[in-house]
Copies of this chain bind each other. A is one copy, B any other.
């Protein structure tokens, strides 16, 4: 690989000059600039980004921390971020923090070690304090789908509880009383919030919470299947289900099919969704929409602003939206 030195020699100038034409900094005579360009072409020269980063302690790179690569949800999230960064000419580094705080710390460290110019964190397990501490450092970052006090201006938030309540109320308004809940893993804050929405809706409508109507799963299809099976075993007479994720909803449908249950004839279904898997099911299921795509886009553009030292337009939290389809029937 040709280095700046080779270019300098071939062009008969100093490395400093080459660097200047490279970065279009300072004044250079057109003649020499041309010579340098020619040399670069001839040697097929590409600046070494590592050396560059080392020298400037910046990298033309932004880092993204996610918790998984699996599933359309993260696909969509990454794709959206990538697109913005393409426009900004930034290289995107993605790092996965699995399910633990340690692992997220590691993911974050790697990215900061790489001297990213900015970060987008979809971090579920880092402590608020760590984040606040991170905010002392100078590299800008945005928190995706998270709310931490004192960092409001960096948070792209969503009202999960509100959304859950909206969904369950929809069911109640259609006459349902015995409503099952496919809940997400209790360790996750957002899962707890979605569950709280369920609780609130019931409470406000004076329906007692029956824990045996709730089953927890890992947000995935298989888990949804099992959770649904458990509940149905205990309560064959439920008239509706509220699913806290699309994948779990698919799992529930797997079971329904197996048991020849029809939706919404035998059971009504409402679910969270973000990537419209729910519209692939038959019948298309009514959902509350978690707009991860728009949120990711917002996070990206907000980060871009930060990196360009532009003032941050106020970040408003995203609101849930009910998408009525064909999976809820009204009970007389």
Whether A193 is near chain B, meaning CB under 8 Å from some CB there, is no
Can you list, as one digit per residue, whether each of A272-291 has a CB less than 8 Å from chain B (1) or not (0)? 00000100111000000000
* Also in contact, A82 and B69, with CB within 8 A (given A94-B94, A109-B46, A113-B48): yes
Distance, CA A257 to CA B281, complexed state (A) = 11
Looking at the complex, which of A19-27, A73-81, A121-129, A170-178 is the stretch in contact with chain B? A73-81
Distance, CA A78 to CA B96, complexed state (A) = 11
Distance, CA A159 to CA B222, complexed state (A) = 30
Q: Are A50 and B115 in contact (CB under 8 A)?
A: yes
Distance, CA A79 to CA B72, complexed state (A) = 12
Can you list, as one digit per residue, whether each of A74-115 has a CB less than 8 Å from chain B (1) or not (0)? 111011001000000001011110000000000001100111
Q: Which residues of B sit under 8 angstroms from A31, Cβ to Cβ?
A: none
The residue on B at minimum CB distance from A91 is B110
Q: Are A49 and B113 in contact (CB under 8 A)?
A: yes
Chain A interface size range: 35 or more
Contacting residues of chain A (39-90) with chain B, CB-CB under 8 angstroms: 46, 48-51, 53-54, 59, 68-72, 74-76, 78-79, 82
| Cβ-defined partner of A281 (8 Å) among B71, B78, B109, B282 | B282
Distance, CA A82 to CA B70, complexed state (A) = 10
The residue on B at minimum CB distance from A221 is B280
The residue on B at minimum CB distance from A281 is B280
Distance, CA A303 to CA B286, complexed state (A) = 45
Question: Chain copies in the assembly?
Answer: 2
Q: Which residues of B sit under 8 angstroms from A277, Cβ to Cβ?
A: 280
* Also in contact, A93 and B93, with CB within 8 A (given A113-B46, A250-B280): yes
Q: Are B281 and A50 in contact (CB under 8 A)?
A: no
Q: Which residues of B sit under 8 angstroms from A280, Cβ to Cβ?
A: 250, 253, 277, 280-281
Distance, CA A109 to CA B48, complexed state (A) = 11
Q: Are A96 and B115 in contact (CB under 8 A)?
A: no
Distance, CA A257 to CA B76, complexed state (A) = 26
Distance, CA A280 to CA B70, complexed state (A) = 17
The residue on B at minimum CB distance from A257 is B282
Q: Are A50 and B114 in contact (CB under 8 A)?
A: yes
The residue on B at minimum CB distance from A94 is B94
List the 5 shortest-distance A-B pairs measured between CB atoms, nearest first: A69-B79, A282-B282, A69-B78, A70-B79, A75-B75
The contact sample of 25 A-B pairs, CB cut-off 8 A, is A46-B109, A48-B54, A50-B50, A50-B54, A50-B113, A50-B115, A51-B54, A54-B54, A69-B75, A69-B78, A69-B79, A69-B82, A70-B75, A70-B76, A71-B72, A71-B75, A72-B75, A74-B75, A75-B75, A82-B96, A93-B93, A250-B280, A277-B280, A280-B280, A281-B282
Instruction: Write the residues of chain A forming the contact surface with B, with a CB cutoff of 8 angstroms.
Output: 46, 48-51, 53-54, 59, 68-72, 74-76, 78-79, 82, 91, 93-96, 109-110, 113-115, 250, 253, 257, 277, 280-282
**With contacts A72-B75, A250-B280 known, what are 4 further pairs, Cβ within 8 A?**
A50-B114, A69-B79, A280-B281, A282-B282
